Amino acid sequence: MNDVITLGSKTSTGGAVISGNSNVMINGQPIALVGDTATCPCGSKSCSGQGPIVAQSPRAANVNGVNFARTGDLVNTGCGSCFLEQGSHAVSLGTNTAKPANMGSSINIGDNVYINS
């Protein structure tokens, strides 16, 4: 599963991730972390149009203690229908939280990588 999210990744409502952490790059794109921002153009009255990414499942990879965003995470815009879609990078995250992979700065990751799976 290509579940790592980067800047520009799409949401289920046609929005996109608009912030990321440039200290960790996936195929040249900054990685998105929980708390980064994505847009939602759904048009619902309850939707603010953009909001923070909220984790919806366990994951064990983080950057300086902040978890990676992954496919299926909620974008908290108030509408409840905006989620992160599968990315285009062949990088997958494991859920083994017993031994987390804590990454620092200046890391570049390519395709076909499985992090803590």
CA distance 21 to 91: 16
Question: Which tens digits make up the pLDDT trace of 65-103?
Answer: 898 899 999 999 999 999 999 877 766 666 655 555 556
Q: Examine the pLDDT at 63 and tell me if it is beyond 60.
A: yes
User: In which order are the strands placed within the sheet that holds 74-75?
Assistant: 37-39, 50-54, 74-75
Please indicate, yes or no, if residue 50 is contained in any of the structural domains.
yes
pTM of the predicted protein model: 0.82
Q: Which domain holds residue 46?
A: 9-84
Count: domains in the chain: 1
Tokens of 1: 């599963």
Question: Which tens digits make up the pLDDT trace of 30-55?
Answer: 999 999 999 999 999 999 999 999 99
Q: Which residues sit opposite 68 in a β-bridge?
A: 33
Tokens of 62: 């983080």
Please indicate, yes or no, if residue 99 is contained in any of the structural domains.
no
Measured between alpha carbons, how far apart are the two ends of the chain, in Å?
A: 11
Please indicate, yes or no, if residue 103 is contained in any of the structural domains.
no
- Which range in 35-39, 59-63, 89-93, 107-111 is most confidently predicted, on average pLDDT? 35-39
CA distance 116 to 112: 13
CA torsion angle 57 60 67 78 (round to 10)? 0
Please indicate, yes or no, if residue 108 is contained in any of the structural domains.
no
